[in-house]
Amino acid sequence: MIEAEGLNKYYGSFRAVDTLSFRVEAGQIMGLVGPNGAGKTTTLRCLSGIIPATSGRARIADRDVASDPVAAKQQLAFIPDEPRLFEHLTVEQHLNFVARLYQVGDWRERAQPLLDELEMGDKRGLLPSELSRGMKQKLAIACGLIHRPQAVILDEPLTGLDPYGIRRMKDTMRKLAAEGAAIILSSHLLDLVQEVCTHLLILKQGQKIAAGSVAEVRERYQVEGGASLEEVFFRATADEREPLV
């Protein structure tokens, strides 16, 4: 479960996130979309505890991110668009290091199928400098999933992946949800969101414009099931009605 309750984030007098509340249940994949500057990345960073919210609460698997950060983060994977890797650790050493942080004893047994799933089984001994951009992203994903988190936050996760990697990543997200993880996927790729997400959250100027299942959001904006998410997005972000609660 991932939850925001009355979340606000100010930078000086600028409100980047405005009284945001929503909840992602186990097994759901929520697409987070909005125009540039809508507050998507700030929201994700507040949820993951990377930056503190000015007010409001964020919870991961029923643990409060502010008051119980270690317990919350033990259940979380945050995968950014730009991999943050250690220059002098191999692929295998990265997984060992991260597994130790999360006290994962059987990391070798977990690592092999994870690397195979991401098509990196033959890259165990390579350093980041020897990996392509897409392979670095896959390594970051593997590091995020080695402890089998209950909540997964993905910020533009397909950056640098080739078509095969994109297909594998879609399958991985569906698999994680089927196993009970709550997932937030932030992406500008509306086709991706439409294909894999069960729910939507649309932000504009830090505010929730619409939230709910894909069908509920389509109905709100009077878009038939065959229409693309792009049409929903443009109608929602141009609409001045009150946000959907």
Domain ranges of the chain: 1-75+154-245, 85-148
CB under 8 Å to 87, separation ≥6 — which residues? 127, 128, 129
Average pLDDT over residues 134-149: 95
Average pLDDT rounded to a whole number, residues 153-157: 93
* d(C-alpha 27, C-alpha 25), whole Å: 6
pLDDT at 88 over 80: yes
Asked whether residue 245 carries a pLDDT value surpassing 50, the answer given is no
Span 122-150, average pLDDT: 95
| Mean pLDDT computed over every residue of the chain | 92
Consecutive H or E run containing 77: strand 76-79
From residue 192, alpha-carbon distances to 31, 89, 137, 189 in Å are: 9, 32, 17, 5
- pTM of the predicted protein model: 0.91
Residue 244 has pLDDT above 70, yes or no: no
**Does domain 1-75+154-245 match CATH 3.40.50.300?**
yes
pLDDT, average across residues 52-79:
97
Q: What is the model's pLDDT at position 224?
A: 65
